Amino acid sequence: MSKEKAIYICENCSFESPKWLGQCPECLKWNSFVETLSRVTSSNNSKLGKNFNTPASVIALNAIKSKETARTSTKLAEFDRVLGGGFVQGQVVLLSGEPGIGKSTVLLQVASLFENSVIYVCGEESPEQVRLRALRLGISGQNIQLVNETDVDKILLTLNTLSKKTIALIIVDSIQTLTTLDLTGGSGSVGQVRECAQRLISYVKAVGVPLVLVGHITKDGTIAGPKVLEHMVDTLLYIDGDNDHFFRFLRTSKNRFGPVSEVGIFEMAEGGLKEVLNPSDIFLEERLKSAPGSCVTVIMEGYRPILFEVQALTSRSNFGYPKRTSSGFNANRLSVLVAVLEKRCNLQLSDQDVYVNVAGGIKVNEYSCDLAVCLAIYSSVTGKVINPKIAAFGEVGLSGEVRKVPFMEARVKEAKKLGFSKIISPLEVRSVKNALDLAFSKE
């Protein structure tokens, strides 16, 4: 026989203690002990038992028959994109994002699109609040069953009373609200989050029902709770966006059943999150084609090329130290590009304030739009307008060279598809100076 007891383990060095300690006596780290459950095995089932000498089975890799993974579509194309085509039986998804970004909204929309029952564990909100959101989104909710409970053991007991064949999806909003009486820590503590998640994951893996866990994030943008929670799940999704814009980006950084680094794009509307199937058209529809300081570039969101506008504005500085300000673009990278333009292209910027903005609220995390930023700054300083049929991308080095970036053919294809006839890329130019000559030539 075996039973469980609560112990405390140092997350830094795995030192075990029967009680909580402020400082670990092994690694001397403070506040590192986490309450967890330890299974105690009786002597009858010890290593000296009858199964101790039974070897594990060994299977050759090429002897395993591969089979196609069956998926259940959410009927929401952008959500299916980040999942790799839909939910898989027993798949565990962790969805995180800032408060109010749209996590509960998109999950309620997804739940309403299933024909079979969806179990929605509302730990943070009351059933009345969930109902009000459903009415605002125009969702009848006939297939959505609400469970207003935070005790994970009671939740599992409730799930066992339901028919497994009729459950299409289980949603827990959020995992930080659940607790188990086997642990003394409060809701949201590392031990409670880890143990509750493990119990839910063990259940859905056994019955073959997909599970979505909503997770909080910390001030620095990381998922709250134990880091091991990210390793326990099959798929890790993150939804973000700019509070000043209506676009929401659903990204995947881990997926055991599909590609990673995919992104789904939504627009926040009165009726909930609306899919954006062609984001490039939306990001470029308000562009002033005759204004200097504007250049179109192409970035990759996962395997998806997206075109958007980079804007630059320069004005004479009234102080001795010129400003370098950016929105949606790394400020340190902007300072580097300004230095390259001054040194390699003989552009006088030491007395100019430089402002760069990525239109649409997009945050660029790659160097592929370096060249477009340089062209936009040059256009603003000189007052020359860039041909509206030009799109540019490429990384800029300190020597003024234009370096290659991934998926160049896909970027060029997408730009030409949207009507851009002249693409300035590492395939066409070798340096920023060459790019400036090509972009502002009279041809």
User: pLDDT tens-digit profile of 1-19?
Assistant: 445 677 888 877 778 888 8
Handedness of CA 243, 248, 254, 260 (dihedral sign): negative
pLDDT, mean over the chain: 89
Range 121-138 average pLDDT: 94
What is the spatial distance between Cα 15 and Cα 23, in angstroms, rounded to a whole number? Answer: 11
Res. 331: pLDDT tops 90: yes
Q: Residue 69 has what pLDDT?
A: 79
Q: What domains lie within the chain, and their CATH numbers? A: 1-44 (no CATH), 71-277 (3.40.50.300), 281-439 (3.30.230.10)
Q: Residue 1 has what pLDDT?
A: 43
Q: How confident is the model at residue 144 (pLDDT cuts 50, 70, 90)?
A: very high
Q: Residue 34 has what pLDDT?
A: 81
Q: What pLDDT digit, counting tens, does each position of 41-80 carry?
A: 444 444 444 555 678 889 998 888 877 778 999 999 999 9
Using an 8 Å Cβ cutoff, are 345 and 400 in contact?
yes
Q: Residue 220 has what pLDDT?
A: 61
User: What would you report as the CA-atom Rg of the chain, rounded to the nearest whole angstrom?
Assistant: 27
What is the spatial distance between Cα 43 and Cα 47, in angstroms, rounded to a whole number? Answer: 8
Res. 228: pLDDT tops 60: yes
Residue that wins the pLDDT comparison between 389 and 188: 389
Q: Residue 424 has what pLDDT?
A: 97
pTM for the predicted model, two decimal places: 0.79
Q: Residue 295 has what pLDDT?
A: 97
Res. 365: pLDDT tops 60: yes
Range 282-286 average pLDDT: 87
Per-residue CA distances from 4 to 37, 150, 384 (Å): 6, 21, 74
Q: Residue 48 has what pLDDT?
A: 44
Residue that wins the pLDDT comparison between 164 and 143: 143
Q: Residue 263 has what pLDDT?
A: 87
Q: Residue 39 has what pLDDT?
A: 52
Using an 8 Å Cβ cutoff, are 119 and 169 in contact?
yes
Least confident of 131-135, 163-167, 199-203, 344-348: 163-167
Range 296-308 average pLDDT: 90
Give the torsion through C-alpha atoms of 244, 249, 253, 256, to 10 deg: 150
236 contact partners, CB below 8 Å, separation of at least 6: 93, 94, 96, 230, 252, 253, 254, 255
